[in-house]
Each structure stands twice: as C-alpha cells, then as structure tokens.
Amino acid sequence: MKKLILLTCSTLLIGCSAIQQAVKEDNLTVGTVQREIAVGMPASAVAEVLGSPNIVTTDENHQEVWIYDKIRSEVSYSQRGGGIPLLMFGSAGDSTSSKKTLTIIIKFDITKKVRDFAYHASRF
C-alpha cells in the first residue's frame, strides 16, 4: 500500500513539473523579452522568466551566451460544401500552414549578468 501511495505521489510531482515547463515555453515571446529582460539582470532571473535555453555557448570573448530558439507550426483547416455525397467520401476543404520562429540571444558578462540581448521573430 505504501508503495502505491509513493508511486502515485511521484507521478503527480512529475506531471506538475511537465506543466511548469509548458508554461515557461509559452512565456517565450517577444513581448516577454521586451518586458522582462534587461541589461544587468542576473542569469538566474533570466532562467526564471524564460526557462532553460536551447543552446549555451560562448562568444569571442569567452563570455557565456544563451540562445532560445523556438519554431511553431500552425495549420488551419476550412471546410466547404457538405451534404450526403461528402458523408461517403469525407469532407472537402482547404488547409493552410504557417511557421513562426523566434530566436533570442542573451549575452552575459563575467559576473553572469545580462550585458546584451537581441531577438528575431519571423512568420512564413
């Protein structure tokens, strides 16, 4: 019985952590960067706002650089027609797809504070 309770509690905790990561991914927007990220901000505060970066590297001065790279695909369907003939063969319609990209680059100084940041958003 104790093992079952422990397993249930562990599963609930793991599920909550996945939800928290999904919330942080939703925070990854141009608006969030503009509102929340500032020069002089500690790296820990950046991670609190944006979550963990996709890429951690160094620049030409051997200072740490965090890169957040997000790609989102959106598909929309529009249905046309109807009636009995479509019931036998499925529905007719059009679909459109688009992609959105967001790249955020945050450069830190030697004290792990933001010294510069940039972002690029595109839609195609």
CA dihedral (87, 92, 78, 98) in degrees, to 10, reads 130
Q: Residue 56's domain spans which residues?
A: 2-123
| pLDDT value at residue 100 | 93
- What are the residues whose beta carbons fall under 8 Å from the beta carbon of 38, sequence distance 6 or more? 114
| pLDDT value at residue 90 | 56
> How many structural domains compose the chain?
1
Helix, coil or strand: residue 83? coil
Per-run averaged pLDDT (10 residues), the chain, 124 residues:
54 51 65 97 98 97 97 80 55 79 98 98 92
Q: How far apart are CA 77 and CA 73, in angstroms?
A: 13
Put simply, whether the predicted model's pTM sits higher than 0.75 gets the answer no
| pLDDT value at residue 56 | 98
Count of alpha carbons within 13 Å of 35, Cβ hemisphere only?
8
**Token representation of residue 123:** 């839609």
